[in-house]
Amino acid sequence: MVDPSALARSLPGLKTVGGPALVAAMGRPARFRNAAAFRSFTGLAPKASETGNTDRKGQPISKAGSSLLRTTLVRAADTARRQDPQLAKLYFDQMVTRGKSHLGAICVVAAELAERAFVVMRRGTPYVVRDVDGRPVTSEEAKALIAEHFTVSPEIRARRRSAKVGKAPHKALVAHVLEAQGHRPEGADRTRRPSPTSTPAVHPTPVKRTA
């Protein structure tokens, strides 16, 4: 049986389906040096982009490793940020302060959830939901804290959706997650514009020479 102690299923958002998928992909936690190494394994860590002495930040995720594991963590993160005040704060800060889109913020939460999953499996202790000060809270208390302090307003969501982003972060991951949820990519049902009719070659009329 995968995860007989139900440690992975104690993590918010994973439960009976995502928990076993996480454990199967992770294998022995000891094979990873630390939580950051496991996050890199999931493909949710930003790409390294270094030129000379410059380290460019804000790069898209690497998408290395199992796409099933990434999809599992991204979908779990969207549920977890509604159940865990600390993850809710992270999501809130990404959208409100950092100006990320919903999916960009969710990917950040998913990366954090991956690290927490590693800690849970490595220590062999169930996950405990805590407030932002580190105190354990019940599910009811957690939801009340999130509703009061970390709810993103509809106005901000609308602005994030309408804002044009120069770089489309995590494009492949977005398509993968949407397809896994049964959504068609935007514009998939539009009729493809026919290619313009090629212009027939025009042959010049030969000029008759007069004697």
pLDDT on residue 180 = 43
Which tokens belong to 177? 């997650």
pLDDT higher than threshold 90 for residue 16: no
Residues 152-161: tens digit of each pLDDT: 999 999 999 8
pLDDT higher than threshold 70 for residue 135: yes
More confident residue, 139 or 182: 139
Cα-based torsion angle of the residue sequence 80, 123, 133, 42 in order, rounded to the nearest 10 degrees = -40
Which domain covers residue 25, as residue numbers? Answer: 8-46+64-180
**CA angle, 71 as apex, 66 and 76 as ends, to 5°?**
130
% residues pLDDT > 70 (the chain)? 67
CA distance 108 to 88: 11
Is position 93 within any domain? yes
Does the predicted TM-score (pTM) go above 0.75? Answer: no
Is position 120 within any domain? yes
Is position 82 within any domain? yes
pLDDT on residue 67 = 85
Residues 157-204: tens digit of each pLDDT: 999 987 644 444 444 454 444 444 444 444 444 444 444 454 455 455
Q: Residue 4's pLDDT band (boundaries 50, 70, 90)? A: confident
pLDDT on residue 47 = 56
At position 151, the amino acid (one-letter code) is T
Is position 1 within any domain? no
Residues 18-51: tens digit of each pLDDT: 898 899 999 999 999 999 999 999 999 875 444 4
Residues 6 or more apart whose CB falls under 8 angstroms from that of 22 comprise 8, 11, 14, 69, 72, 73, 117
Is position 22 within any domain? yes
Is position 3 within any domain? no
- The domain tally of the chain equals 1
